[in-house]
């Protein structure tokens, strides 16, 4: 069972009162999501997302919660934020960086690899044709024009060359 499945099972077993307590953390202040990501409050974030929270919200640096998760290497939170297809993987912060760039710059390679699959889903669908999450991101990305070239393109290009060897 994946960590995301365990989290979803845990949330399913919460009492309505506990769910309401966690949901209250973002109800009156949507910007609180950024502190929740930094603190690692996965339950509150998952419940917010489950209840329609806009994961494309930006802070003063134009970062999304996914940028912050990439910076802090909170993989489970990144999984929660990308569980359903959305625009967050393609949003740039005020320095022009994608969440993928942030993960790579901070040396979070495993998370960077996951974000790469979501940011460039067409390249990975052939390798994982049964991965429904990647397929959904392919459908979403093909319906919108996106500027997805990473800021740190040289690293990505080298990685693609290594993959072909």
Helix (H/G/I), strand (E/B), else coil: 58: coil
- pTM tops 0.95, yes or no: no
Distance CA(7)–CA(116), nearest Å, equals 23
Determine what percent of the chain is predicted with pLDDT higher than 90.
Answer: 62
| Domain total of the chain | 1
Rg of the chain (C-alpha set)? 16
b/e map 83-108, b = 16+ CB within 10 Å: bebbebbbbbbeeebbbbbbbbeeeb
CA distance 70 to 108: 8
- The domain spanning residue 121 has which CATH number? 1.25.40.20
Residues above pLDDT 70, as percent of the chain: 76
CB atoms within 10 A of CB 18: 13
149, pLDDT greater than 60: no
Measured between alpha carbons, how far is 124 from 165 in angstroms, rounded to an integer? 16
Report pLDDT digits (tens) over 10-66: 999 999 999 999 999 998 899 999 999 999 999 999 999 999 999 999 999 999 999
Task: With cut-offs at 50, 70 and 90, classify the pLDDT of residue 146.
Answer: low
Distances (CA, A) of 112 to 22, 27, 39, 58, 146: 28, 30, 20, 20, 19
Q: What is the pLDDT of residue 56?
A: 92
**CA 123 – CA 137 distance, rounded (Å):** 11
Are the beta carbons of 32 and 25 closer than 8 angstroms?
A: yes
- Residue numbers of the domain that contains 124: 3-164
pLDDT of amino acid 138: 66
Q: Whole-angstrom Cα distance, residue 45 to residue 67?
A: 14
Q: Count of alpha carbons within 13 Å of 24, Cβ hemisphere only? A: 6
Chain centroid offset of residue 37 CA: 11
* Mean pLDDT computed over 111-118: 90
Q: What is the pLDDT of residue 159?
A: 46
At residue 125, the pLDDT reads: 64
Residue 154 banded pLDDT, cuts 50, 70, 90? very low
Residue 38 is predicted with a pLDDT of 96
For range 145-164, the mean pLDDT: 47
Mean pLDDT of all residues in the chain? 84
């Amino acid at each position: 069972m994946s960590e995301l499945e365990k989290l979803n099972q845990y949330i399913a077993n919460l009492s309505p009162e506990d769910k309401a307590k966690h949901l209250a953390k973002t109800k009156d202040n949507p910007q609180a999501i950024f502190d929740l990501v930094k603190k690692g409050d996965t339950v509150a974030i998952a419940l917010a997302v489950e209840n329609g929270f806009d994961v494309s919200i930006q802070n003063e640096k134009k970062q999304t919660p996914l940028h912050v998760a990439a910076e802090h290497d909170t993989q489970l939170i990144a999984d929660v934020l990308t569980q359903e297809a959305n625009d967050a993987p393609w949003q740039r912060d005020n320095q022009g960086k994608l969440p993928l760039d942030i993960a790579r710059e901070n040396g979070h390679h495993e998370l960077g690899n996951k974000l790469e699959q979501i940011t460039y889903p067409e390249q990975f669908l052939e390798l994982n044709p049964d991965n429904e999450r990647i397929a959904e991101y392919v459908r979403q990305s093909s319906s919108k024009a996106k500027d997805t070239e990473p800021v740190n393109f040289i690293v990505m290009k080298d990685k693609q060359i290594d993959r072909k060897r």
